[in-house]
Amino acid sequence: MDATNGTTDQTFEAFARHDFYRAVNEHLVDRTLQIRERVEEPVRRALDLACGTGAVTQLLADRVRQLREPVEIIGVDPSTAALEKARKLVGSAAAFVVGTAQAFSDIVTGVDIILFCNAIHLLPQKEPVVAEAHRALNPGGVLGFNTSFYDGCYAPGTERFYKLWMLRSLQMLKRETGLRPDRNRVEAMNWLTPEDYRVMLERNGFQIEEMKTEVANMTCESWQDISQYSEFANGALPGIPVDVATPILKRSVAEAFDELQIETLPRNWLQVVARAV
């Protein structure tokens, strides 16, 4: 899901089916609910922000069925096409509303938990969504989000892989198309440090309850699947049409895995749970 302008590349669904992707989101959902349950008041309303096609919404629905009280679940996303898929996936367990991450507190308020999975790194300006979350949450409400695009996401010793992958991509691109990425056309993704996130959350009325790194072992196939996602392809090879960039990224990542003789590559995911105070 593109949290900035509402476009959705449907092939992201292939990446979302990988076990490690589901696991990191399951862990975030579980910890967010566990931390919110410390409050005596029951969870009555939950929001899945930038819900996309509903994978995390479904996880949330499965978890809240175990609670004593019924929970109203709302999914918000700017893409109507993604929301149609989410409705088919989740059914009547959640309601879905069109809205953006930067301006949703007028659409959904009075919520006890907010989940914002794998999307905050897409936003050039991240602070507005944190402020929106604080406005939408009830006192003591909890925000849980994660990202694998932050300053610290490269596991130690994996830097060689990323350099080799990009080198092989550029060589293949030049050899087969004569094109070169235009680094001036795409704004660099703003990767924050964990401390940057901590300061931003505290500045907007949150108290950090948990901030940790979770390691996901990603396969070559998973890197090929994420290469189909337009936001990733545009960031990796800026200025190159996605239909040109994607097959090159997929073939070059396979070459990098073969050259390094690896089957999986560890990637750090930042998991953050914070309470509104």
pLDDT, averaged across the chain: 92
Model pTM?
0.90
What mean pLDDT is predicted for residues 268-273? 98
- pLDDT tens readout for residues 117-175: 999 998 989 999 999 999 999 999 999 999 999 999 999 999 999 999 999 999 999 99
pLDDT at 13: 76
Residues in the chain, overall count? 277
Looking up tokens 């076990």, which residue turns up? 19
Strands 137-147 and 264-276: antiparallel
What mean pLDDT is predicted for residues 100-113? 93
Q: Which fold has domain 12-154+190-217+266-276?
A: Rossmann fold (3.40.50)
pLDDT at 63: 95
Which segment of 87-101, 225-239, 257-271 scores lowest on mean pLDDT? 225-239
Burial of 130 (0-12, 13-18, 19+ CB in 10 A): buried
Asked if residue 177 has pLDDT above 70, the reply is yes
- pLDDT tens readout for residues 229-265: 888 898 899 999 999 999 999 999 999 999 999 999 9
Going from N- to C-terminal start, the domains of the chain cover: 12-154+190-217+266-276
CA distance 15 to 38: 34
